[in-house]
Amino acid sequence: MGNDSFGAAFIVATTNAGTTWSPQSLPSGGNFVHLAGISCANAQVCVVVGTIYTVTTSTYNGAIFATSDGGSSWVNEDGEVPSGTTGLSAVACPTASDCFATGSTAAGIGIIGTTDGGSSWTALTTFQGKTLTGIACPDSNHCWATGQTLLGPIMNTTDGGSSWSVQSPPLFSISSLNGISCTSVQICLAVGTQFSNAAIVSTTNGGSTWTPQSLPLGLSAMNAISCISGTDNCWAVGGSSIGVAAAIHTSDGGQTWSSPVAMPSGIDSLSAISCVSITACWATGASTAFGYIVASPPSTSQGYWILAANGSVFGFGGAPYHGSAFGLLGGAQAASMVSSPNGNGYWILSSNGSLFGFGKLVYHGSPIDIGVTAFNIDSMASTPDGNGYWILAADGTVWGFGDGQYLGDLSSAHLPFSLVGITARG
């Protein structure tokens, strides 16, 4: 969904996993419509919200369109929007009957709801403040709304919208939370902005506490997030510090995130995303040529990491960022980096024998733990099961840790050259 280069609202739909997309027309009545949010309770029932500018009266109002036949036809439900609603920014439909939408009113920012599939809408609450831009409802009683308000960036209801309470993120410097996704009434992730950088916070206890998550470098803002129910997989989209669109992925509920996935050229930003499975996602955003576009992230899990001498880590493709040793090496340099067999973590070895583990790894020891102080450590290899490793020094000394059995080395050979690598077999 979006607006084309002439400002006309449109919706595009696919029934073949994104191979082809078909436009669907909206009954706008000749008025200008900006679409901001969409939610589909199932393959047939969807609700779209936004803002409509009525030419004859020069007024802005909330816009609602609904379909019950998979988009073959759309019904304009603007007449059912509560009076005074000047625009709608996001919508969540936990069932085909129940939907909640955020927006603005003459009295402030508001949340409206329907219990009959959109035939009628009721104003649920109004806040004095700035704006709400995201909403997620895992069921008809529990919803979280995010944005930028005078009360706080997270609002929550447990009674279907009759009453709302404030939940605070852990960092006061988070200026806004632009989007939110919940896989259950306990687990939610929200994305936004902290100063000039992207921010993601999560809760596993229904919002009683929110925890910040580490993100790859170079992200300026996150605008939306979509998590697949019943899994730990989420995609978040936004922009990078170099002015291009960014999409990142987590497969462990947000504990670690991939490096930004490369988008097709010309895509400046991504503003919304919807995932229907672990491998199939579609995102909408802005391009220099077309205004709004639809992009499908690659489904491959291939990827790799690059290690810098100062301990910095750069991930590409489906390689998730687990952390780096930057600032931890003292006077040493990073010497080697080895991934765990399942890709859920990696070790970074320094030239003085220190070892740093990131992700889901077990630390089994390092040369520095047994008194080695030389700055000639240069390589390591993981055992096949990831429960141990071998570390090599330039003089041929080998140490085994965990289930990495010591099988001999070349330290007594006094070779006239340095040894630079070790790899495992079996």
User: Does one domain contain both 186 and 286?
Assistant: yes
pLDDT for 293 equals 33
The verdict on residue 158 lying in a domain is: no
Most confident of 256-265, 311-320, 409-418: 409-418
pLDDT for 8 equals 44
User: Does one domain contain both 56 and 127?
Assistant: yes
Return mean pLDDT, the chain: 78
pLDDT for 7 equals 43
The verdict on residue 144 lying in a domain is: no
User: Does one domain contain both 206 and 325?
Assistant: no
* More confident of the two residues 284 and 198: 198
Q: What is the 3-state secondary structure (H, E, C) of the chain?
A: CEECCCCCEEEEECCCCCCCCEEECCCCCCCEEEEEEEEECCCCCEEEEEEEEECCCCEEEEEEEEECCCCCCCEECHHHCCCCEEEEEEEECCCCCCEEEEEEECCEEEEEEECCCCCCCEEEEEECEEEEEEEECCCCCCEEEEEEECCCCEEEECCCCCCCEEECCCCCCEEEEEEEEECCCCCEEEEEEECCEEEEEEECCCCCCCEECCCCCCEEEEEEEEECCCCCCEEEEEEECCCCEEEEEECCCCCCEECCCCCCCCEEEEEEEEECCCCCEEEEEEECCCCCEEECCCCCCCEEEEECCCCCEEEEECCEECCCCCCCCCCCCEEEEEECCCCCEEEEEECCCCEEEEECCCCCCCHHHHCCCCCCEEEEEECCCCCEEEEEECCCCEEEEECCCCCCCCCCCCCCCCCCCCCCCC
User: Does one domain contain both 3 and 131?
Assistant: yes
The verdict on residue 425 lying in a domain is: no
Range of weakest confidence among 19-28, 262-271, 344-353: 19-28
Average of pLDDT values for 286-294? Answer: 38
Residue that is last in its domain, among 136, 158, 193: 136
Average of pLDDT values for 387-402? Answer: 93
Residue that is last in its domain, among 257, 280, 299: 299
Contacts of 57 (CB under 8 A, 6+ apart): none
Inform me whether the pLDDT recorded for 56 exceeds 80.
no
Inform me whether the pLDDT recorded for 115 exceeds 80.
yes
* More confident of the two residues 356 and 170: 356
Inform me whether the pLDDT recorded for 407 exceeds 90.
yes
Q: Which CATH number fits the domain that encloses residue 130? A: 2.40.10.500
Domain count, the chain: 3
Rg of the chain taking only CA atoms, in angstroms? 26
Per-residue pLDDT of 231-241, as tens digits, reads 888 888 887 77
* More confident of the two residues 118 and 386: 386
User: Does one domain contain both 254 and 237?
Assistant: yes
Residue type, 184: S
User: Does one domain contain both 20 and 126?
Assistant: yes
The verdict on residue 426 lying in a domain is: no
Average of pLDDT values for 76-98? Answer: 82
Most confident of 55-64, 313-322, 340-349, 400-409: 400-409
User: Does one domain contain both 290 and 308?
Assistant: no
Most confident of 33-42, 178-187, 262-271, 354-363: 178-187
The verdict on residue 410 lying in a domain is: no
pLDDT for 187 equals 92
Per-residue pLDDT of 220-231, as tens digits, reads 888 889 888 778
User: Does one domain contain both 269 and 333?
Assistant: no
Range of weakest confidence among 32-41, 276-285, 328-337: 276-285
pLDDT for 282 equals 63
pLDDT for 3 equals 43
The verdict on residue 40 lying in a domain is: yes
Per-residue pLDDT of 63-72, as tens digits, reads 888 888 877 7
The verdict on residue 415 lying in a domain is: no
User: Does one domain contain both 309 and 276?
Assistant: no
User: Does one domain contain both 131 and 47?
Assistant: yes
Question: In terms of residue numbers, what domain contains 12?
Answer: 1-136
Range of weakest confidence among 92-101, 244-253, 393-402: 244-253
User: Does one domain contain both 110 and 17?
Assistant: yes
Please state, in angstroms and rounded to a whole number, the distance separating the CA atoms of residues 232 and 228: 7
pTM: 0.60
User: Does one domain contain both 294 and 308?
Assistant: no
Please state, in angstroms and rounded to a whole number, the distance separating the CA atoms of residues 325 and 307: 10
pLDDT band at 399 (very low <50, low <70, confident <90, very high): very high
The verdict on residue 77 lying in a domain is: yes
Range of weakest confidence among 22-31, 80-89, 143-152, 341-350: 22-31
